[in-house]
Amino acid sequence: MNEIALIGKKIGMTREFYKTGQSIPVTVLKLEKARVIHVIEEAKRGYKAVQVGFGNIKTSKISKAMKGYFSKKNTEPKKKLKEFKINNTENYKEGNEFGLEIFKDIKFVDVRSTTIGKGFAGVMKRHNFSGLRATHGVSVSHRSHGSTGQRQDPGKVFKGKKMAGHMGNKVRTMQNLEIIKSDLENDLLYLKGSIPGSKNSEVLVKKAIKNIKKLTINEKIELAEKAKKTPDKKKK
């Protein structure tokens, strides 16, 4: 089953220093507080889920149908609605709000966002082709992809052939990103490394779907300090 997730935006990148002198690049995310709009029961829909609203929006910018829906739920209009399937709906009630505290005991998360669009790109940029020769009879087509088909049989270009085309602007998921720290007061989450997308782009953060056994940076530093304190028996 899917886990509850939070939606926010990418603020940018910075780095985090540790007492060992280590510098780690981190991405800063601003995650909005979510409100439970509707709890879906298995008896009515055949599955259990929670509908969650993110971000506020002016009443003048939503349809009449959505105005009636939000007034029925006794909540202010939300910019985005998301539905998450869960195993147990007992802990969720309409009107409840939650934020970064859902990641309190979680070390790794999955982040989904849209990559930066590059427009129409050639095969050398899009697929890392080497291009044709610079001399020896090659003219005009130095950066072209070369032949794309065979003969009369099969007489076509197969689907999925690497060619020039639209590059970027695709939804991608980064898995098992380590949580470096979280700022509950300012709703900021610091993740190790980079994530797809430009500044202020929308991101969705949820608990890592893969149960990996991996040490965090803080755990590695603690183990290194313990190793220094314990005497080496072989040297004696």
Cβ proximity of 39 and 26 under 8 Å:
no
CA distance 128 to 167: 12
Whether 173 contacts 111, CB under 8 Å: yes
| Average pLDDT for runs of 10 along the chain of length 236 | 81 92 94 91 90 91 93 91 89 89 91 96 95 91 90 90 95 94 92 94 93 87 85 61
**Per-residue DSSP letters for 97-151?**
EE-GGGGTT--EEEEEEEPPP-EEE-HHHHS----S-SSTT--S-TT-------B
| Neighbouring C-beta atoms of residue 94, cutoff 10 Å | 14
Structure token digits, residue 153: 């049989």
138 found inside a domain: yes
Phi-psi region of 23 (alpha: psi -120 to 50; beta: other; left: phi over 0): beta
- Judge whether 124 lies within some domain: yes
pTM score of the predicted model: 0.85
- Residue type at 129 in one-letter notation: F
Give residue 1's pLDDT: 39
The residue segments making up the domain with residue 123 are 117-148
Position 7 in a domain: no
User: How far is Cα 171 from Cα 191, in angstroms, rounded to an integer?
Assistant: 19
Structure tokens at 1: 């089953």
Domain contains 166: no
Radius of gyration of the chain from its Cα atoms, rounded to whole angstroms: 25
Counting the structural domains of the chain, the total is: 1
In a domain? residue 144: yes
The whole-number pLDDT of residue 105 equals 87
Q: State the first-to-last Cα distance of the chain, in angstroms, to the nearest integer.
A: 54
Query: What pLDDT does residue 145 have?
Result: 92
> Does residue 143 form part of some domain?
yes
167 domain-assigned: no
Residue 128 lies in a domain: yes
